[in-house]
Each structure stands twice: as structure tokens, then as C-alpha cells.
Amino acid sequence: MTFTWSGGFTGPPVVAVGLEASAGFRSHRIAANSATSTTVHVLAASGVTLPGTGVLAAGQDAAGVTVHAVAVGA
């Protein structure tokens, strides 16, 4: 997901990201960040619990996730 900043940052802003989704494990990373846009990559992984041990499957691109972002000048 790419957020386009119309504000006019002079350099890459400091960005905070939040995810809103159904139950399950989600992770995110900022893949690119510039004065005009920020790209966030979101993965989802299912979990398996074996006796006494939890294991996460390999992450896949997440669908149906709402991504919130706030940016402030550095």
C-alpha cells in the first residue's frame, strides 16, 4: 500500500503505522519512504500450535487489512 503525502515534507517524514484486521498474526514494514510517499508492505501468517510450541507459517501478502499511517516532519 502506498500513501501519497500532499503536505510538502522537505525530506522523508517519520511515519507511524497501525494495522486493523481480523484475528491472526500480521506484520508490516516500511518498504520505501520519501518526502512525497511511503510504501508499507503487510504480511499475514497462520499459526499452528504443537504441544507446548507455537509455530508461524511463512507470511503471505495480506488482504482485507486496513492500514493507518501518520507522518510528521523529521
Q: How many CA atoms lie within 13 A of 32 on its CB side?
A: 9
Q: Would you list the domain boundaries of the chain?
A: 2-72
pLDDT digits 0-9 by tens, 12-29 = 999 999 999 887 788 899
pLDDT digits 0-9 by tens, 39-51 = 999 998 877 777 8
Region 39-66: mean pLDDT is 83
Cβ atoms of 17 and 28 closer than 8 Å: yes
